[in-house]
Structure 1
Protein backbone atom coordinates (compact mmCIF):
# COMPACT_ATOMS: atom_id res chain seq x y z
CA UNK A 1 0.00 0.00 0.00
CA UNK A 2 2.03 2.90 -1.36
CA UNK A 3 0.68 6.31 -0.44
CA UNK A 4 1.32 9.27 -2.70
CA UNK A 5 1.31 12.76 -1.25
CA UNK A 6 0.04 15.48 -3.54
CA UNK A 7 0.61 19.12 -2.69
CA UNK A 8 -2.11 21.50 -3.88
CA UNK A 9 -1.71 25.28 -4.02
CA UNK A 10 -3.70 27.11 -1.38
CA UNK A 11 -6.00 29.94 -2.26
CA UNK A 12 -6.31 32.63 0.33
CA UNK A 13 -9.43 34.74 0.13
CA UNK A 14 -9.55 37.87 2.20
CA UNK A 15 -12.92 39.34 2.89
CA UNK A 16 -13.28 43.03 3.56
CA UNK A 17 -14.81 43.81 6.93
CA UNK A 18 -18.48 44.65 6.72
CA UNK A 19 -19.42 48.18 7.69
CA UNK A 20 -22.52 49.65 9.25
CA UNK A 21 -25.16 51.75 7.55
CA UNK A 22 -24.14 55.43 7.45
CA UNK A 23 -27.15 56.20 9.62
CA UNK A 24 -29.46 54.05 11.70
CA UNK A 25 -33.00 53.16 10.70
CA UNK A 26 -34.52 55.87 12.89
CA UNK A 27 -32.02 58.69 12.18
CA UNK A 28 -34.63 60.54 10.17
CA UNK A 29 -33.64 63.96 11.48
CA UNK A 30 -30.05 63.47 10.35
CA UNK A 31 -31.28 64.45 6.89
CA UNK A 32 -34.49 66.45 7.26
CA UNK A 33 -35.00 66.75 3.49
CA UNK A 34 -35.05 62.97 3.08
CA UNK A 35 -37.29 62.63 6.13
CA UNK A 36 -39.85 65.07 4.71
CA UNK A 37 -39.59 63.52 1.24
CA UNK A 38 -40.26 60.05 2.71
CA UNK A 39 -43.05 61.24 5.00
CA UNK A 40 -45.00 63.26 2.43
CA UNK A 41 -44.37 61.09 -0.62
CA UNK A 42 -42.85 57.71 0.23
CA UNK A 43 -43.69 56.18 -3.19
CA UNK A 44 -41.72 59.00 -4.88
CA UNK A 45 -38.78 58.48 -2.50
CA UNK A 46 -38.87 54.73 -3.19
CA UNK A 47 -38.70 55.40 -6.94
CA UNK A 48 -35.78 57.81 -6.42
CA UNK A 49 -33.86 55.19 -4.39
CA UNK A 50 -34.53 52.57 -7.04
CA UNK A 51 -33.27 54.86 -9.81
CA UNK A 52 -30.16 55.94 -7.88
CA UNK A 53 -29.29 52.31 -7.31
CA UNK A 54 -29.47 51.63 -11.05
CA UNK A 55 -32.79 49.82 -11.08
CA UNK A 56 -35.92 50.83 -12.92
CA UNK A 57 -37.53 53.88 -11.28
CA UNK A 58 -40.94 52.20 -11.32
CA UNK A 59 -39.80 49.02 -9.54
CA UNK A 60 -41.32 49.97 -6.14
CA UNK A 61 -44.65 50.71 -7.82
CA UNK A 62 -44.83 47.26 -9.41
CA UNK A 63 -45.61 45.55 -6.09
CA UNK A 64 -49.21 46.61 -5.88
CA UNK A 65 -50.53 46.18 -2.37
CA UNK A 66 -47.84 44.68 -0.12
CA UNK A 67 -48.94 41.55 1.70
CA UNK A 68 -46.75 41.12 4.77
CA UNK A 69 -43.32 42.05 3.44
CA UNK A 70 -43.09 44.75 0.75
CA UNK A 71 -41.11 42.86 -1.93
CA UNK A 72 -39.47 45.87 -3.60
CA UNK A 73 -38.38 47.39 -0.28
CA UNK A 74 -36.95 44.10 0.94
CA UNK A 75 -35.11 43.24 -2.27
CA UNK A 76 -33.73 46.77 -2.67
CA UNK A 77 -32.56 46.87 0.95
CA UNK A 78 -30.84 43.47 0.73
CA UNK A 79 -29.22 44.38 -2.59
CA UNK A 80 -27.90 47.75 -1.36
CA UNK A 81 -26.57 46.08 1.78
CA UNK A 82 -24.80 43.35 -0.19
CA UNK A 83 -23.33 45.63 -2.89
CA UNK A 84 -22.12 48.21 -0.36
CA UNK A 85 -20.68 45.64 2.06
CA UNK A 86 -23.02 46.62 4.89
CA UNK A 87 -23.42 44.27 7.83
CA UNK A 88 -26.82 42.77 8.45
CA UNK A 89 -28.99 39.82 7.56
CA UNK A 90 -32.06 39.00 5.55
CA UNK A 91 -34.01 38.68 8.81
CA UNK A 92 -33.07 42.24 9.80
CA UNK A 93 -34.00 43.44 6.30
CA UNK A 94 -37.41 41.80 6.64
CA UNK A 95 -37.96 43.40 10.05
CA UNK A 96 -36.99 46.86 8.78
CA UNK A 97 -39.18 46.47 5.68
CA UNK A 98 -42.18 45.24 7.67
CA UNK A 99 -42.03 47.38 10.79
CA UNK A 100 -41.17 50.73 9.26
CA UNK A 101 -41.01 50.71 5.49
CA UNK A 102 -40.87 54.53 5.38
CA UNK A 103 -37.82 54.64 7.67
CA UNK A 104 -36.22 51.86 5.63
CA UNK A 105 -36.62 53.80 2.36
CA UNK A 106 -35.25 56.93 4.05
CA UNK A 107 -32.23 55.02 5.35
CA UNK A 108 -31.52 53.60 1.89
CA UNK A 109 -31.86 57.09 0.38
CA UNK A 110 -29.38 58.55 2.91
CA UNK A 111 -26.94 55.72 2.15
CA UNK A 112 -27.12 56.29 -1.60
CA UNK A 113 -26.83 60.07 -1.23
CA UNK A 114 -23.50 59.48 0.52
CA UNK A 115 -22.15 57.28 -2.26
CA UNK A 116 -23.79 58.46 -5.47
CA UNK A 117 -21.15 60.05 -7.70
CA UNK A 118 -22.00 63.27 -9.48
CA UNK A 119 -21.23 63.22 -13.21
CA UNK A 120 -20.45 66.56 -14.82
CA UNK A 121 -20.44 66.77 -18.60
CA UNK A 122 -18.47 69.66 -20.01
CA UNK A 123 -18.37 70.66 -23.64
CA UNK A 124 -15.28 72.01 -25.30
CA UNK A 125 -15.74 75.56 -26.61
CA UNK A 126 -16.02 75.73 -30.37
CA UNK A 127 -13.17 77.80 -31.83
Structure 2
Protein backbone atom coordinates (compact mmCIF):
# COMPACT_ATOMS: atom_id res chain seq x y z
CA UNK A 1 0.00 0.00 0.00
CA UNK A 2 1.04 3.54 -0.66
CA UNK A 3 1.44 5.60 2.53
CA UNK A 4 -1.72 7.49 1.50
CA UNK A 5 -3.67 4.28 2.18
CA UNK A 6 -4.42 3.58 -1.46
CA UNK A 7 -3.53 0.09 -2.67
CA UNK A 8 -0.58 -0.20 -5.01
CA UNK A 9 -1.42 -1.60 -8.43
CA UNK A 10 0.00 -5.08 -8.76
CA UNK A 11 1.72 -6.35 -11.84
CA UNK A 12 0.44 -9.90 -12.45
CA UNK A 13 3.75 -10.93 -14.02
CA UNK A 14 5.31 -10.97 -10.55
CA UNK A 15 3.51 -13.68 -8.64
CA UNK A 16 6.06 -13.85 -5.85
CA UNK A 17 6.64 -10.12 -5.62
CA UNK A 18 10.34 -10.71 -6.20
CA UNK A 19 10.78 -10.05 -9.90
CA UNK A 20 12.92 -12.13 -12.18
CA UNK A 21 16.29 -10.74 -13.21
CA UNK A 22 14.89 -9.32 -16.41
CA UNK A 23 11.40 -8.74 -17.65
CA UNK A 24 10.55 -10.30 -20.99
CA UNK A 25 8.31 -7.56 -22.34
CA UNK A 26 8.92 -3.82 -22.51
CA UNK A 27 6.89 -1.79 -20.06
CA UNK A 28 6.30 1.82 -19.08
CA UNK A 29 7.15 3.68 -15.88
CA UNK A 30 4.28 3.33 -13.40
CA UNK A 31 4.41 7.06 -12.59
CA UNK A 32 5.85 10.13 -14.23
CA UNK A 33 9.09 11.82 -13.29
CA UNK A 34 7.29 14.73 -11.59
CA UNK A 35 4.59 12.69 -9.80
CA UNK A 36 6.29 13.13 -6.43
CA UNK A 37 3.02 13.94 -4.67
CA UNK A 38 1.83 10.37 -5.19
CA UNK A 39 4.09 9.36 -2.28
CA UNK A 40 4.69 12.40 -0.11
CA UNK A 41 6.60 10.58 2.64
CA UNK A 42 9.33 9.26 0.34
CA UNK A 43 9.40 12.62 -1.45
CA UNK A 44 10.01 14.50 1.81
CA UNK A 45 12.70 12.03 2.91
CA UNK A 46 14.39 12.33 -0.48
CA UNK A 47 14.31 16.14 -0.37
CA UNK A 48 15.93 16.30 3.07
CA UNK A 49 18.18 13.24 2.99
CA UNK A 50 18.51 11.73 -0.50
CA UNK A 51 21.32 9.42 0.62
CA UNK A 52 18.83 7.32 2.62
CA UNK A 53 16.30 6.91 -0.18
CA UNK A 54 19.03 6.30 -2.73
CA UNK A 55 20.69 3.70 -0.48
CA UNK A 56 17.40 1.85 -0.09
CA UNK A 57 16.80 1.81 -3.84
CA UNK A 58 20.36 0.77 -4.65
CA UNK A 59 20.28 -2.16 -2.19
CA UNK A 60 17.10 -3.54 -3.76
CA UNK A 61 18.25 -2.95 -7.35
CA UNK A 62 21.58 -4.64 -6.50
CA UNK A 63 19.64 -7.56 -4.95
CA UNK A 64 21.34 -7.11 -1.58
CA UNK A 65 24.94 -7.49 -2.73
CA UNK A 66 25.78 -4.21 -0.98
CA UNK A 67 23.85 -2.71 1.92
CA UNK A 68 21.77 0.43 1.98
CA UNK A 69 24.29 2.01 4.37
CA UNK A 70 27.23 1.50 2.04
CA UNK A 71 25.38 2.89 -0.97
CA UNK A 72 24.13 5.83 1.07
CA UNK A 73 27.61 6.55 2.43
CA UNK A 74 29.17 6.49 -1.05
CA UNK A 75 26.42 8.80 -2.28
CA UNK A 76 27.02 11.20 0.65
CA UNK A 77 30.79 11.23 0.22
CA UNK A 78 30.44 11.95 -3.48
CA UNK A 79 27.96 14.72 -2.69
CA UNK A 80 30.16 16.32 -0.04
CA UNK A 81 33.50 16.14 -1.84
CA UNK A 82 32.67 16.30 -5.54
CA UNK A 83 29.02 17.23 -6.01
CA UNK A 84 28.86 14.49 -8.65
CA UNK A 85 26.67 11.99 -6.82
CA UNK A 86 24.36 12.06 -9.84
CA UNK A 87 26.87 9.99 -11.81
CA UNK A 88 26.71 7.26 -9.17
CA UNK A 89 22.93 7.37 -8.82
CA UNK A 90 22.28 7.33 -12.57
CA UNK A 91 24.01 3.93 -12.78
CA UNK A 92 21.30 2.46 -10.57
CA UNK A 93 18.54 4.07 -12.61
CA UNK A 94 20.04 2.33 -15.64
CA UNK A 95 20.10 -1.01 -13.77
CA UNK A 96 16.48 -0.56 -12.70
CA UNK A 97 15.42 0.29 -16.25
CA UNK A 98 17.18 -2.79 -17.63
CA UNK A 99 15.64 -5.10 -15.00
CA UNK A 100 12.12 -3.98 -15.92
CA UNK A 101 12.72 -3.00 -19.56
CA UNK A 102 11.65 0.58 -18.90
CA UNK A 103 12.16 3.29 -21.51
CA UNK A 104 14.87 5.89 -21.08
CA UNK A 105 12.55 8.85 -20.79
CA UNK A 106 12.13 11.77 -20.89
CA UNK A 107 15.87 11.76 -21.66
CA UNK A 108 18.95 9.69 -20.78
CA UNK A 109 19.53 8.54 -17.21
CA UNK A 110 22.57 10.71 -16.52
CA UNK A 111 20.82 13.88 -17.65
CA UNK A 112 17.75 13.06 -15.57
CA UNK A 113 19.88 12.54 -12.46
CA UNK A 114 21.99 15.64 -13.09
CA UNK A 115 18.98 17.93 -13.64
CA UNK A 116 16.21 16.32 -11.58
CA UNK A 117 18.01 14.23 -8.95
CA UNK A 118 15.24 14.32 -6.34
CA UNK A 119 12.45 13.61 -8.82
CA UNK A 120 14.42 10.73 -10.35
CA UNK A 121 15.07 9.06 -7.00
CA UNK A 122 11.41 9.46 -6.01
CA UNK A 123 10.26 7.94 -9.30
CA UNK A 124 12.58 4.96 -8.86
CA UNK A 125 11.31 4.44 -5.30
CA UNK A 126 7.69 4.47 -6.52
CA UNK A 127 8.56 2.09 -9.37
CA UNK A 128 9.97 -0.48 -6.96
CA UNK A 129 6.83 -0.16 -4.82
CA UNK A 130 4.69 -0.69 -7.92
CA UNK A 131 6.68 -3.82 -8.69
CA UNK A 132 5.84 -5.25 -5.26
CA UNK A 133 9.05 -4.30 -3.46
CA UNK A 134 9.37 -1.98 -0.47
CA UNK A 135 12.77 -0.26 -0.63
CA UNK A 136 12.53 0.71 3.04
CA UNK A 137 12.67 -2.99 4.00
CA UNK A 138 15.88 -3.66 2.08
CA UNK A 139 16.51 -6.74 -0.01
CA UNK A 140 16.45 -9.25 2.86
CA UNK A 141 13.29 -7.68 4.30
CA UNK A 142 11.53 -8.05 0.96
CA UNK A 143 12.60 -11.68 0.71
CA UNK A 144 11.36 -12.35 4.25
CA UNK A 145 8.04 -10.64 3.49
CA UNK A 146 7.61 -12.81 0.41
CA UNK A 147 8.41 -15.98 2.35
CA UNK A 148 5.81 -15.33 5.07
CA UNK A 149 3.31 -18.12 5.13
CA UNK A 150 5.62 -20.48 3.26
CA UNK A 151 6.35 -23.47 5.46
CA UNK A 152 9.82 -24.82 4.95
CA UNK A 153 10.71 -28.35 6.05
CA UNK A 154 13.04 -28.46 9.05
CA UNK A 155 16.68 -28.99 8.34
CA UNK A 156 18.61 -31.63 10.20
CA UNK A 157 22.09 -31.44 11.67
CA UNK A 158 23.55 -33.46 8.82
CA UNK A 159 23.02 -36.65 6.94
CA UNK A 160 21.45 -39.71 8.52
CA UNK A 161 23.70 -42.59 9.52
CA UNK A 162 22.82 -46.21 10.27
The reply to whether TM is greater than 0.5 is: yes
Does 1:62 pair with 2:74? yes
Structure 2 unpaired stretches of 5+: 1-23, 134-141, 152-162
Distance in 2, Cα, partners of 1:18 & 1:69: 28
- Structure 1 runs (4+) deviating above 6 angstroms are none
Q: Give 1:45's aligned residue.
A: 53
2:131 paired with 1:119 = no
> Structure 1-normalised TM-score?
0.71
What is the CA-CA distance between 1:20 and the residue it aligns to? 1.6
Q: Which moved more, 1:27-36 or 1:52-61?
A: 52-61
Q: Give deviations 1:62-98, integer Å, cap 9, x for gaps.
A: 2523455722211000010011010117x52111110
Higher CA-based Rg: 1
RMSD in angstroms over aligned alpha carbons? 2.6
Q: How many aligned positions are there?
A: 109
Query: 1:123–1:94: structure 2 CA closer, same or farther, 3 Å change rule?
Result: closer
Q: Distance in 2 between matches of 1:78 and 1:84?
A: 10
1:108 to 124, 147, 158: 124
